[in-house]
Structure 1
């Protein structure tokens, strides 16, 4: 019901008014398509020409909203026009109805119209020639083709171009959407990488500062307080240097790659953890390791030592890196149980970051109690997987 109440398009109204005006002008001056003596003229009354003209004009108002209905009614009108003296405007408007039915109707309907108009052209060419046996009879087929096949073929070509343009537009929108999704995923991945780097760089130093400041405040011993303040200062300076390095990664104005930690720096990392009070044994047995694996292994060891500083009981912490075939095995164990003394708060982000680093390289990560120890183990493939 809503479709029936659809108002005609402004262009359709303009076409209808123009066609009606032109037809009335031709009728007024007495210019018809056929003479009164034409054998096909059955109704010679002047007013009879106006009936198909008005009906075709009304159909023009529906050419866009009801193209198939407009063509069916228009076909009846053009047939009625054939038995009158005829009006050129009626014929021209009918060709527009054929064109509009192919352009605005369904694709299946448009295809049928093209075939039907082609068939009518063949019939309009063959039948008169067979009946009259004169070459002039072929002109009837030409006339039928001009009125039916030509507008139908034109509408089909225009429709194909419009469909191709719509498909290209849709493809462009989909491409833009995929590009936006890729950009959003890249931003999210970069933010996650930045979060991991920030946590791994600074958490170790801040944890040491928190533990030693707590000790300095709880123990009333000038010597202990001075030693704690020395450790706090050292970790503050190192933490500030790490922060500056992270800022350098984020804002690389000179175009030169910023230095990233490697496994060669594990000794310095372990020495720093020892200075914070951990008893550590380092055991490494590996060859050349790809840069992404080096960074992931370094960060996993760094975060494991940070967790040991915050939560481990007194005792020895072991760090072992062993290369087996095409896998680097990273294992860090620390005493596990009730701990006396100050603790630094933990958020759980460190374990998430270590698991993400291993997953990005296609490796595995495990962390949990193992007997009287807390064990962290990561297996990092050396030949396949993601990269930082």
Structure 2
């Protein structure tokens, strides 16, 4: 039984997928059955006259034509079916006339619009009444009326009910298909959203890693490049005729080389810390390579300020210590980038670096006009963008630009100090 049901379901699915082909087969089957009834059935029973059976091929052709067009033009198909019934009765009547009626009313009820279905229902009621009254008139017998009513229901009522039932099933199936398509579309949209979110996460992570690599590598290596170039530019002590000058040249070169070594060691430590963070996974938006975020760490920038004069104005250590670790890390990174940019682009300038913890956190770096260093290194020009991103991560802003003969970088993070210290 289960195998038989599966076969029926497959056949139904096959027919639903090929509606035009299915209707063509149905129309051909209707024509074949009508011809068989014409051959074996009675003809001329309405008028009682002798007529040729083959003249009834005309109403059969009309009924077949109506069946072929019942899906595309149900109204015209219903009219052709009624025309086939009328022509068959005018010719004297044949046994196939019942099939014209059944197919016409079924087509109108299954494929027609609301107005056509109402017309078909009304005509079916009229047909059932005429059938009941017509069979009861000759003898006035109640049994004839009942038999006529049952016959009318079978001929007119059954195709209307059957067509309505098939139409409802088709509508339910169409709604199911629409719902399934909506679910598929929703699934595709969810997949697209997930892909976009993954892409955004990857881009965000790449931007975060780029910022860290810029802070960890670029600034340190720039200081190393500038310091090593400066050391190469210092004359050899052997070339000095004055012992005092030779001693000063030696001390100057040693100082520069010590700065280079310190920058190299710091760069290595920063790289190890960054690699450790990346290997650990789950890097948060404020995770970074470990650096000294205390005020002492900011003061240590003076050692990296090779070739410039750095003036620091820092807040009370206790107030600064109450800031969150991510915020202090951002402040230390921005301060280091300000100093590194001054070293690279304004050799010999005076840089005033001030950190104020008033109502808002404000970090200002103001430098005087410097000179282009002969030991300058290429710059990618992303330092200001990285500093701005760090400030915006805490809801702050960064303004950078010329200030008279110098340059100013002004970072403001509103409300963070008050929030962190309460």
With the length of structure 1 as denominator, give the TM-score of the two structures: 0.75
Matches within 5 A, 1:22-41: 23-25=31-33, 27-28=35-36, 30=38, 37=45
> Does the 8 Å contact 1:274/1:280 carry over to 2?
no
Aligned partner of 1:270 among 291, 296, 299: 299
Give the structure 2 partner of residue 228 of structure 1.
256
How far did residue 364 of structure 1 move?
1.4
Q: 1:125 and 1:74 mapped to 2: Cα distance?
A: 20
Q: Secondary structure at the match of 1:251?
A: helix
Relative distance call for 1:254 and 1:361 in structure 2 (3 A) is: closer
> Does the 8 Å contact 2:217/2:267 carry over to 1?
yes
How far did residue 236 of structure 1 move?
1.8
Matches within 5 A, 1:182-261: 182-221=197-236, 223=250, 224-252=252-280
Relative distance call for 1:219 and 1:268 in structure 2 (3 A) is: same
Q: 1:248 and 1:96 mapped to 2: Cα distance?
A: 76
With the length of structure 2 as denominator, give the TM-score of the two structures: 0.70
Q: 1:241 and 1:263 mapped to 2: Cα distance?
A: 11
Q: What's the CA shift string for 1:310-345, capped at 9, x where partnerless?
A: 1234354332222233x3111122232334553233
How far did residue 14 of structure 1 move?
4.7
> Does the 8 Å contact 1:231/1:276 carry over to 2?
no
Aligned partner of 2:69 among 46, 59, 63: 59
Q: 1:298 and 1:33 mapped to 2: Cα distance?
A: 104
Q: Secondary structure at the match of 1:345?
A: coil
> Does the 8 Å contact 1:322/1:328 carry over to 2?
yes
Q: What's the CA shift string for 1:238-269, capped at 9, x where partnerless?
A: 21221222222322159999665577434224
Question: More displaced, 281-290 or 248-257?
Answer: 248-257
Relative distance call for 1:235 and 1:275 in structure 2 (3 A) is: same
Query: Which structure has greater helix proportion?
Result: 2
Give the structure 1 partner of residue 384 of structure 2.
351
Q: What's the CA shift string for 1:152-191, capped at 9, x where partnerless?
A: 3333222222222222222222222222222222222221
Q: 2:296 and 2:180 mapped to 1: Cα distance?
A: 64
How far did residue 10 of structure 1 move?
5.5
Q: Which has the higher contact order (CA 8 A, sep 6+)?
A: 1
> Does the 8 Å contact 2:75/2:108 carry over to 1?
no
Q: 1:362 and 1:33 mapped to 2: Cα distance?
A: 92
Aligned partner of 1:79 among 77, 82, 98: 82
Give the structure 1 partner of residue 175 of structure 2.
160
Give the structure 2 partner of residue 321 of structure 1.
355
Q: What's the CA shift string for 1:250-309, capped at 9, x where partnerless?
A: 221599996655774342243144255353414124453344433332221121111122
Give the structure 1 partner of residue 6 of structure 2.
none
Gaps of 5+ in 2: 1-16, 89-95, 134-144, 238-249, 418-422
Q: Secondary structure at the match of 2:362?
A: strand
Give the structure 2 partner of residue 334 of structure 1.
367
Relative distance call for 1:342 and 1:17 in structure 2 (3 A) is: same
Q: 1:266 and 1:213 mapped to 2: Cα distance?
A: 28
Matches within 5 A, 1:41-52: 45-52=55-62
Instruction: State how many pairs are aligned.
Output: 355
RMSD between aligned alpha carbons? 3.9
Relative distance call for 1:130 and 1:29 in structure 2 (3 A) is: closer
Aligned partner of 2:343 among 306, 309, 320: 309
Q: What's the CA shift string for 1:89-127, capped at 9, x where partnerless?
A: 89459846865x57xxxxxxxxxx145414532563378
Question: Does residue 190 of structure 2 align to residue 175 of structure 1?
Answer: yes
Q: 1:89 and 1:225 mapped to 2: Cα distance?
A: 113
Relative distance call for 1:254 and 1:49 in structure 2 (3 A) is: closer
How far did residue 201 of structure 1 move?
1.6
How far did residue 210 of structure 1 move?
1.1
